[in-house]
Structure 1
């Protein structure tokens, strides 16, 4: 039987953050909390990333359904964590919105619980506690993770992310960002921590 596998971390292209919950996790539908963010990307970078994700999703769907009967295989559909953006009239805008998620608490195979803290840095690679609102210009550090949803008969990959780097902060609705506290002065954090494409210096998704 196909089993989900962990994959190597990499960087996304820079894009526009949509409804980011990265300063703190969203607990509305999950008491343990979920970090999540949409990332709107346009142009060749978006097309290239979507193709990579689709290929990985198709490969895992094939693996999941390889030993099924033809009739059973037809019931399964492909899951991809992105969609082509459309305007109010249903016309493509040319952008693709990628869906990144990460559980704030991970149940390990050993039985323990791992607390996840999102790694946030500025454009210099320096740790940052600033609120990341929608419309911010950001990129993520993420990995493709195989995911099988038996109840919905879907298989593909999820985009697990462990860090966000911003170069421009938006001023719109935070969707999880913290507001500024009057009179607060930053502690002068100076630890470079965005890591490299293999995940160094960041909090990985863990083994679960």
Structure 2
């Protein structure tokens, strides 16, 4: 169902990037490529709850325009899920899932490229495309919530527009800790270039 109005653009609170594919589109599951990232926000946090409610409200407005019995169907997703650790256990975070297509096929069957998400630093300056954004970076996401009803599926998808990097994690996860090493007395000559500690509850606003 086509939307009558242009979708709103919203900004998230600052959260932690998980599985970011922002610099280069991922083609593992879609040959056309998809830019994406998850954003981890703490559970039971007023800003997280406000964002969740905002997405629910957007779908409810969309539901009112659906013909019966479609308007009675509950959405399968509002664009977020419970975050799980590597063992499948719930963490203290909600994972919001953002994505944007890298290419599309026009009416004539030609493949057209779409622009990559814009990426800015904390000072609002564009970040060069060759600067890799790793998981664990503290970011804000600008996105458009898109309610949908396709076949038997309905819900809200979060279209990725842009990212602001507040703290850049330069570590790709291949750290000493990932091999099971722990700190001990002895030689010290390595570089400490991981992400700085970041307070997830730092005061910030959701730009609705």
TM-score (norm 1): 0.69
What corresponds to 2:147 in structure 1? 146
What corresponds to 1:24 in structure 2? 24
Structure 2 gap ranges (5+): 175-206
What corresponds to 1:53 in structure 2? 55
Residues 138 and 165 in structure 1, CA contact (< 8 A), matched pair in contact too = yes
Deviations 1:65-112 (A, max 9, x none): x333xxx766x431311023356585562x211010100114457976
Structure 1 gap ranges (5+): 175-196, 199-208
What corresponds to 1:189 in structure 2? none
What corresponds to 2:166 in structure 1? 167
Deviations 1:116-167 (A, max 9, x none): 22211111111112210000000111111122231xx121221111111101
What corresponds to 1:96 in structure 2? 94
CA distance in 2, matches of 1:11, 1:127: 17
- The count of corresponding residues between Structure 1 and Structure 2 is 167
CA distance in 2, matches of 1:102, 1:56: 19
Which aligned segments of 4 or more residues in structure 1 are displaced greater than 4 angstroms?
86-92, 107-112
Residues 142 and 163 in structure 1, CA contact (< 8 A), matched pair in contact too = yes
> Aligned in 2, Cα 1:17/1:91: closer, same or farther, shift over 3 Å?
closer
TM-score (norm 2): 0.69
CA distance in 2, matches of 1:99, 1:173: 21
> Aligned in 2, Cα 1:110/1:127: closer, same or farther, shift over 3 Å?
farther
What corresponds to 1:38 in structure 2? 38
Residues 10 and 144 in structure 2, CA contact (< 8 A), matched pair in contact too = yes
RMSD (Å) for aligned C-alpha atoms: 2.8
SS of the residue corresponding to residue 52 of structure 1 reads: helix
What corresponds to 2:74 in structure 1? 77
CA distance in 2, matches of 1:28, 1:89: 22
CA distance in 1, matches of 2:121, 2:27: 26
